[in-house]
Amino acid sequence: MEENRKNLLEFFSYHDKKHLVKLEQRILQYYEDADHYDRYSFLLKARKNFIDGIVLEHQDVLLADIIAFNEALRLALQKMYDHAHQVWDKMKGDSLFGNSKELIARCFLPSRYPALHPVHRKNSEALYDALQDAEWNKFYEDGVSFMPLRLAEGMEVETFDAYIGMDCPPPNWNEGLDQELTKDLHLILQFNHLFEYTNFALTDFIYCRDFESQTEITLG
């Protein structure tokens, strides 16, 4: 699959490519300008809508990477979930941590531009950096989830299936995608969050296979 991955730019007409180049140039211009930084984050949403409007016409071509990304993300979240609970179980029984404590775990896309992405241009890394900035990509503040994994005294323990949205029928968060084509994919809640609510275009993240987790411990 890696060798035969289609160049996404083949989906774009000449005029589409020109428009995208100009839009991305504006994004980087304002992102790197302190005087305009706070006013132009909406351009990321405009870019997302423009790219998704084109690539979603070719979901059959993207399907293998959608599936591979969803599975890689599920495994990364399982690893983060298991590690967080292992740490929490040790904390709960240790009086050194006191009576008021909390553990928060978050999972993020890789900080480096995905190597598997079929499009590598001179501004790809810089654009990816802008997308990773939670000040510009508001719903990415807690990473791939709308809410981080939170463990605290007195809180009910959430199962892993509940955390990834697989505890409700049908277990498939495919809103916004071709319903028939993706009906059996079991896309997890975090996939939906990235696709529906953040400013990442679909093709900004489906080529990621590695993820970065953060664990934060607060003592009262």
User: Among 3-12, 20-29, 61-70, whose mean pLDDT is lowest?
Assistant: 3-12
Is residue 11 one of the residues assigned to a domain?
no
Using 50, 70 and 90 to split pLDDT, how confident is the model at 153?
confident
- The stretch 166-173 carries a mean pLDDT of 91
* Amino acid code (one letter) for 5: R
User: Among 37-41, 101-105, 156-160, 175-179, whose mean pLDDT is lowest?
Assistant: 37-41
Token representation of residue 193: 């969050």
Is residue 188 one of the residues assigned to a domain?
yes
Is residue 50 one of the residues assigned to a domain?
no
Is residue 21 one of the residues assigned to a domain?
no
User: Is pLDDT at 34 greater than 50 in this prediction?
Assistant: yes
Is residue 18 one of the residues assigned to a domain?
no
For 67-101, write each residue's pLDDT tens digit. 999 999 999 999 999 999 999 998 887 777 777 88
User: Among 46-55, 92-101, 197-206, whose mean pLDDT is lowest?
Assistant: 92-101
Is residue 17 one of the residues assigned to a domain?
no
Domain count, the chain: 1
Q: Which of 143, 144, 149 is nearest to 85 (CA)?
A: 149
- The stretch 7-30 carries a mean pLDDT of 94
User: Is pLDDT at 147 greater than 60 in this prediction?
Assistant: yes
User: Is pLDDT at 7 greater than 70 in this prediction?
Assistant: yes
Q: Please, are residues 196 and 175 in contact by the beta-carbon 8 Å criterion?
A: yes
Is residue 35 one of the residues assigned to a domain?
no
Is residue 206 one of the residues assigned to a domain?
yes
Q: Is the peptide bond before 171 cis (omega within 30 degrees of 0)?
A: no
CA count, 13 A, side-chain hemisphere, 137: 30
User: Is pLDDT at 186 greater than 50 in this prediction?
Assistant: yes
**Domain span at residue 127?**
61-219
pLDDT at 170: 86
The top-scoring range by mean pLDDT among 6-10, 35-39, 132-136 is 132-136
How many Cβ atoms sit within 10 Å of the Cβ of residue 158? 13
